[in-house]
Homo-oligomer: A and B are copies of this chain.
């Protein structure tokens, strides 16, 4: 299949596919006689893997690590487990940070809702922030 068909089939764009190839996430595509990229069905499988990795919040670099392990003939299972463990810790920290931030912003927002502009000091820009 051609690049536009693959993009259509996987819900992405030709730009992104060329970018992924450049980034080593897709193997260099076989070329038809006219120079057009010619993909087999395994490209769809590969892109689905990339999509799952992105959905899990992995970076393209991390996804590439996993692909490289597989392409080197190893099984990437344990590395995937490591990546997911780190990711989980990171997500938990992000959630905790956001919950702290939410409390702060909610308090400020509540105060700003009952603001008395006259009480503000111009030099301080806004006392409700």
A20 at the interface (CB under 8 A from B): no
- How many residues on the A side are at the interface (Cβ–Cβ under 8 A)? 50
Q: Which residue of B lies closest to A58 (CB)?
A: B129
Q: A49-B129, A58-B129, A80-B112 are in contact. List 8 more A-B contacts (CB 8 A).
A: A49-B124, A56-B101, A56-B108, A67-B125, A88-B106, A88-B109, A91-B101, A92-B102
Q: CA A46 – CA B123 in complex, angstroms? A: 7
In-complex Cβ contact of A85 among B88, B92, B109 (8 A): B109
Copies of this protein, total: 2
- Asked, given contacts A52-B129, A76-B125, whether A95 binds B99 with beta carbons under 8 Å apart, the answer is yes
Q: CA A4 – CA B128 in complex, angstroms? A: 29
Report A97 CB to chain B, min CB distance, Å. Answer: 10
Q: CA A37 – CA B46 in complex, angstroms? A: 56
Neighbouring B residues of A112 by C-beta, 8 Å: 77, 80-81, 84
Q: CA A58 – CA B117 in complex, angstroms? A: 21
Interface residues of A (CB under 8 A from B): 42, 45-46, 49, 52-53, 55-58, 66-67, 70, 75-78, 80-81, 84-85, 87-88, 91-92, 94-95, 98-99, 101-102, 104-106, 108-109, 112-113, 115-118, 120, 122-126, 128-129
Neighbouring B residues of A76 by C-beta, 8 Å: 125-126
